Amino acid sequence: MHHKVIIIDERIVVTGSYNFSINARTRNDENTLIIHSPPISTLFRDEFARVWVIAQESQK
């Protein structure tokens, strides 16, 4: 599993299957969810921080 998330100004979350590529835009069936919610943004930011720590530990 891999996360695809953009957090904008700590209040907007953009997430979904979209790969931000030409194929995603022109050929694939993708989904994108835009959430306007500072509390949800915080949850996503915290999840990023959690995954980042795990990734850093796996590089040791």
Active site residue 9: yes
Residues 6+ apart with CB under 8 A from 16: 4, 30, 31, 32, 33
Which of the following is catalytic: 2, 3, 29, 60? 2
Which of the following is catalytic: 3, 9, 29, 60? 9
Active site residue 60: no
Active site residue 2: yes
Residue 54's Cβ-side half-sphere holds a number of Cα atoms within 13 Å equal to: 6
Catalytic site positions:
2, 4, 9
